[in-house]
Structure 1
Amino acid sequence: MSHLHVRDGISTVQPPLSQAIGYVVVVVIGVIIALVMMLITKVLKKTTGEDNEKTEMFMTANRTVRTGLTASAVISSWLWSTALLGSSFVGYEYGVAGPFWFAAGCSPMIVFFALLGISCKRKIPEAHTSLEVVRIRYGRVAHVVFMILCLVNNIFACANMLLGAAAVITAVTGMHIIAATFLLPVGVTVYTFVGGIKATFLTDYFHTAIIMIIACYFSVKAFSTDQIGSVGDLFDLLQAAAQRHPVSGNQDAFMLLTTPKAILFGILHTLGNFGLVIMDTSYFIKAFSASPAAVVPGYTIGGIAYFAIPWGLGTVMSSVALGLENQPNFPTFPRRMTTAEVGNGLVLPYAAITIAGKGGAAAVLLITFMACTSTLSAQVIGVSSILSFDVYREYFNKKATDRDLIRASHFGVIFFAAFSAGFSTMLHYVGINLGWTLYMLGVVTCPGIFPMIFTILWRRQSKEAAILSPVLGLATGLAVWLGTASRFSGEVTVASTGEVLPCLYGTVASCLSPIIYSVLITVVRPQRYDWDDFKKEKLSLEKLDGDMTTAHHDHAPHGGGVEDWGRAAVDQKELKRWGAIAAFWAAATILGHWVIWPLPMYGSGYVFGKKFYIAWVVVAIIWLWISMLIAIFYPIFDGGIEQIRDVYRGLRGRKVVTEAIPRDGKGDTSTSTSAGSISDTNHVGEKQGNKPE
């Protein structure tokens, strides 16, 4: 890729860890996690009535996941192996600007998604997937179009994760890259097969905790080595690196926030990530799984906390790689990293090995495995929901029972795990790596962004516009992408299509052209949709023994998150209020990350001085540690302690405490488990309005 500082050569770095360690982490630890999750699933069923043989529980956790666990799951959903590896990769290429634009390209769409999530809660509370919303509003043709777009999104997202993770595992252990590619999804398949979305939430929490602890460890370890004693020393090392490897026409490239190539990457990354979020059914599933009062605070807190991970970790570790690349203990010494090594995401592991030896390699191996499997589980459950609800139930068995849908979901889990591994293997053998997929993702993920947003928020988008605009947008994006690659390089190859400018132009065309197509087609064929029509279709799969889903009643689960859920009335007025809050935070996040913060530095051409760089890194590290505390402790205090207590009581044969909750804030009550359980579901067998035994 010509935009990189091309350094040809074959990697001769010997893996610091043995293949046995690689197989232990990928296979043994994966299976252990799966077995533990199976045990937890059985214990929860026995003690709190969370029955994963019920479709509502398997797919939506009875729609009662609380704010703390939602925030942790949101952080985990974006905590891709790509984020850990890619933020260091772009920091190595673009200096301090790289990790900032990587983070700025991740947080705004998470916070914006809170607006879509709460809008779905208000308009179609019984939905399981975003595609059900499309089908009800526009019919089967639109349903199939968006289904294909969502599946393409999931396929490329998984390939992006597996390519980077497998390359790193191979680099640090010597494990065969194809073996790593196929074995990574094994544990994910097992625990998602058994536990469904609740297993995904819980393993998200566990994986995120480990990743955040290790990330914070690296942020401290980097400054406790003999070669780097302080942030100021790291600045001096970067200055020396800039002298050794000057960027043509810009000697201050490592210390400018707004280098041109970094801004281009930021635009490309932001648009591509909007596609990855909005066209990813797993995000909608987690929003549907959250309690109504947990959607907005959960996604907002999670999105803002997430910013520090690519920013803080990427800044520190890329700076370490740049500063210590000429030291004897750097894995590639005496040469620089090759373009292939950088593109495969090896900046982070090489920096970790330099500052922490084999322990650093083991830590990177573990967080890469955790990040990959955690995000894969969300992708797998998302695709299985499409195959079960949107394919099997809609087109093969309208009267599907719980057993039928769970069976279809299980098939979807196994099928997609195997398919994603096979697809990633194909990409590897044609010479595609993490860097290529990181840049081109937006071309295929962006066409459905605005048609999907309009489906949920704009009642005037017509059926024809919804069907045609994403198709035309995808065609436009592909044509621009391939056309500009040919124009700039004279040929269409893997290398030319992986450059920044063709990917940027293609992504912008894929993202923005559907707005024009949709508006024009809507003007020609106008339509005004009645939101109440969403509620005419029954989407719940079964009549639950206990009235456990917020889709069936209009009270908020007791004891939740940032509001006193015991008294809050989750009615249309309340949901509209949450919608206004979500819109405010979405606008504030986008303006903050893209206008208020970086543009003054761009306008002034500000070059980081030593004191400013120190402040920059210190703030990033502090933010990273705060994010760790949120991800680990917020779910515990927001219901975790109470759920552990309920499980303990259940295991000892005692009844789970239940109490009456005002349904409308005026005395009408329904029963629920004691305040604070993570899923906060009613005890199975207790009917709405009945007193507990």
Structure 2
Amino acid sequence: MAALGVMAKIKVPYARTSLEIIRMRYGKIGHIIFIILNLTNNVFGCASMILTGSQLIYGVSGMNFVAATILIPLGVVLYTAVGGLKATFLTDFLHTAVALILIIYFTLSVLTHPAIGGLGGLYDKVVATAGQNYIPGNYEGSLLTMKSKNAIIWGLILKFGNLALVVMDTAFWQKSFATEVNATVPGYNIAALAVFGIPWGLGTVLGLSARALHNTPIFPTYPGPLTDAEVNSGMVMPYLVKALIGDKGLVAFFVLLFMALTSTVSSSMIAVSSILSFDVYKTYINPKTSDKKLVGVSHLTVIFHAIFITGISIAMNYGGANMTWIGYLRPIISCPGIIPLGLTLFWSGQTRLAAILSPVLGFFTGLAIWLATAKSIYGAVNMTTTQEGVPALYGAIGSFFSPALYSVIISLYKPYKFDWQEFLRIEIVEEVQLHGKPSLPANNTNEESIREKTIVDESVLRVPEDTQSASVEENDPEHGHGNYEKTAAVSATSSSTKISLEDVRHPFDDRTLKELYRWSRIAWVIFVFVVLITFILWPMPLYRNYIFTKPFFSGWTTVAIIWQFGAFFAVVIFPLYDGRHAIAKGARGVWNSSRRYLSKNKE
């Protein structure tokens, strides 16, 4: 996302959403296709969180899951509708801070509990209960090995699904467009490193502790077994917390659940709101709408999305879905748009037809592979067989990679080379549509001014002095540039002539562009480094006939816990330090405003 964000700033400096880029290059049909893909990704990503939350609340407290499903998004609607993207930024930070504190608390509390006995005690208990916890597909059936076929399958499915959640979520693109590039690239890359602290330490300690204790009297399900349905619904953690920490631990767990749910739901609401208000309402229903009315529409779409997502979550609950099944479904429905979206910024040869058909064909390819594999291996297609790892992985691979093949083949069928200068006309087009002529304020070339402005400036377009009017004309429809992809035209007489691309200049000066390309290289280097480490250099040497020894396990878990503290420092402490001057300025402003207000009241 860091690499995509920088390239978007370089090639489409005036863009505000990823869908706006699609609309500019591929026209109305391509725009609608990617609107559907983005909405689907957001709906299922958000619904999976609400579904999981309601099932956890039902499983722990006994509250009706319908009531829990309705209550979860209710509070989020209020601050999201009022605060918008700013509220999402603030709540993301605050909720993540609280969540990380609780994650560290749970990890250390469970590990140091007398029933576990620290790192050595946990290792001894896992070894002692190895006969009860034999894992088919693992080396010698052990939990203490990295040689696990099912773990690799699950991990790859998770990678595909999480990649789709980010790239196909307009909220991540909005955050890239709304921030300076020197904050975007470090921000996403710090997150890429910090995120390991959450599943690694928490999963290792709590997962293995539950395995060691689930057949003992202190476990809530004893003497009954911990069923697959309970595991797939996410009940392992609350059961273990209840057993070792008690009711106060459950309260902390519900706080953690609330922090995760509200942050995710708020981000989803902002993304869907921007799509429905800007990409649908403003584009196709009322192009000349005012900013004030557009804000009002966005508030209504937040409420609509909350109602809709609640209904979807309830329906999936009644349909028997759980977080595991949705996690296996999500890559298949969300991945087809990733490569075509990336090629929009990186390959000028992708045609309109390719961009429209490749994600659609990719989705049906992945779906067919998923269902056919489940039928072939397990003899039936149902919630159980489609929840197995192999069909879901094959479906995710087909859904992710096949659009690349389709895009290349379709593009080569009728080649067309897109001129990147077209992207610089986004603001010109909007000005012409709204006012009939481009607006021409003073020249600005720094990134901040471009990011904040919503009208074109002289650095984008050099207009002859005798320009008196403007109009629009369509590009060649054969190559897929539809109604939106129109170019400004100038005329001193009754006839109009199309503005040459040679007269369209990039708004950033050479120094700024050089800096942007430097950040792009940094983003790609870090991307390759992280993938190389996490996919090859770290796990592959451990994928052998090896069971962790006690010293190795102690070191492994210790590093995982240290990583949690590192994540807390990177995500909570460092932003406060980095933004200390802005925070101080804001605090002084609030203080001075408050003093003036109180003085006025006294007078």
Structure 1 residues 549, 171: CA separation in 2 closer, same or farther (over 3 Å shift)? farther
Q: Is the 8 A contact 1:252 1:607 kept in 2?
A: no
Q: Which residue of 2 aligns with 1:91?
A: none
Q: Which residue of 2 aligns with 1:661?
A: none
Q: 2:394 aligns with which of 493, 505, 509?
A: 505
Matches within 5 A, 1:434-473: 434-473=323-362
Q: 2:122 aligns with which of 213, 217, 234?
A: 234
Matches within 5 A, 1:415-494: 415-494=304-383
Residue 641 (structure 1) shift: 5.4
Residue 605 (structure 1) shift: 2.7
1: distance between equivalents of 2:548 and 2:523? 34
Q: CA RMSD in A?
A: 2.5
Gaps of 5+ in 2: 453-508, 597-603
Query: Is 2:131 the partner of 1:191?
Result: no
Q: 1:212 aligns with which of 93, 100, 108?
A: 100
1: distance between equivalents of 2:510 and 2:93? 29
Task: Give 1:197's aligned amino acid.
Answer: L
Q: Deviations over 1:136-187 (max 9, x none)?
A: 0111111011111111111110111111111112222222111111111111
Task: Give 2:343's aligned amino acid.
Answer: F
Q: Which residue of 2 aligns with 1:33?
A: none
Q: Deviations over 1:439-495 (max 9, x none)?
A: 221110111110011011212211111111101101111111111122222222111
Q: Secondary structure at the match of 2:16?
A: coil
Matches within 5 A, 1:394-413: 394-413=283-302
Matches within 5 A, 1:44-443: 113-248=1-136, 250-443=139-332
Q: Secondary structure at the match of 1:386?
A: helix
Residue 654 (structure 1) shift: 9.1
2: distance between equivalents of 1:314 and 1:640? 34
Q: Which residue of 1 aligns with 2:512?
A: 571
Residue 548 (structure 1) shift: 13
Structure 1 residues 322, 641: CA separation in 2 closer, same or farther (over 3 Å shift)? farther
Matches within 5 A, 1:518-537: 518-537=407-426
1: distance between equivalents of 2:445 and 2:518? 24
Give the greater-gyration-radius structure (CA).
2
Q: 1:638 aligns with which of 578, 592, 596?
A: 578
2: distance between equivalents of 1:251 and 1:351? 26
Q: Which residue of 2 aligns with 1:591?
A: 532
Residue 255 (structure 1) shift: 1.2
Structure 1 residues 554, 392: CA separation in 2 closer, same or farther (over 3 Å shift)? closer
Residue 270 (structure 1) shift: 1.1
1: distance between equivalents of 2:51 and 2:196? 23
1: distance between equivalents of 2:225 and 2:423? 58
1: distance between equivalents of 2:511 and 2:553? 46
Task: Give 2:412's aligned amino acid.
Answer: V
2: distance between equivalents of 1:467 and 1:585? 31
2: distance between equivalents of 1:310 and 1:483? 32
Compare 568-577 and 257-266 and name the one that shifted more: 568-577
Q: 1:496 aligns with which of 385, 391, 396?
A: 385
Structure 1 residues 531, 647: CA separation in 2 closer, same or farther (over 3 Å shift)? same
2: distance between equivalents of 1:653 and 1:259? 61
Q: Which residue of 1 aligns with 2:485?
A: none
Q: 2:405 aligns with which of 512, 516, 524?
A: 516
1: distance between equivalents of 2:128 and 2:594? 67
Q: Is the 8 A contact 1:189 1:377 kept in 2?
A: yes
Q: Which residue of 2 aligns with 1:97?
A: none
Q: TM-score, normalised by structure 2?
A: 0.84
Q: Deviations over 1:266-308 (max 9, x none)?
A: 1211122221211111111111111121110111011111111
Residue 554 (structure 1) shift: 8.4
Residue 551 (structure 1) shift: 6.0
Residue 245 (structure 1) shift: 2.8
Structure 1 residues 125, 153: CA separation in 2 closer, same or farther (over 3 Å shift)? same
Residue 640 (structure 1) shift: 4.1
2: distance between equivalents of 1:424 and 1:218? 28
2: distance between equivalents of 1:161 and 1:554? 32
Matches within 5 A, 1:520-559: 520-538=409-427, 550=447, 552-553=449-450
2: distance between equivalents of 1:237 and 1:425? 40
Structure 1 residues 403, 570: CA separation in 2 closer, same or farther (over 3 Å shift)? farther
Task: Give 1:228's aligned amino acid.
Answer: I
Q: Which residue of 2 aligns with 1:609?
A: 549
Q: Deviations over 1:211-262 (max 9, x none)?
A: 0001111121122211122111101111122222323464343111130111
Q: Is the 8 A contact 1:554 1:570 kept in 2?
A: no
Q: Deviations over 1:526-562 (max 9, x none)?
A: 121222211112188999x99999463489xxxxxxx
2: distance between equivalents of 1:530 and 1:582? 24
Structure 1 residues 366, 570: CA separation in 2 closer, same or farther (over 3 Å shift)? farther
Q: Is the 8 A contact 2:47 2:309 kept in 1?
A: yes
Query: Is 2:528 the partner of 1:623?
Result: no
Structure 1 residues 550, 192: CA separation in 2 closer, same or farther (over 3 Å shift)? farther
Structure 1 residues 554, 135: CA separation in 2 closer, same or farther (over 3 Å shift)? closer
Q: Is the 8 A contact 1:649 1:655 kept in 2?
A: no
Structure 1 residues 116, 292: CA separation in 2 closer, same or farther (over 3 Å shift)? same
Q: Deviations over 1:27-80 (max 9, x none)?
A: xxxxxxxxxxxxxxxxxxxxxxxxxxxxxxxxxxxxxxxxxxxxxxxxxxxxxx
1: distance between equivalents of 2:180 and 2:594? 27
Q: Which residue of 2 aligns with 1:76?
A: none
Residue 327 (structure 1) shift: 2.3
Q: Is the 8 A contact 2:8 2:345 kept in 1?
A: yes
Q: Is the 8 A contact 2:48 2:326 kept in 1?
A: yes
Q: Is the 8 A contact 1:242 1:251 kept in 2?
A: no
Task: Give 1:393's aligned amino acid.
Answer: K
Q: Is the 8 A contact 1:123 1:531 kept in 2?
A: yes
Q: Deviations over 1:78-128 (max 9, x none)?
A: xxxxxxxxxxxxxxxxxxxxxxxxxxxxxxxxxxx1000111111112222
Q: Deviations over 1:591-631 (max 9, x none)?
A: 110011111111x3332111111111000000001111222
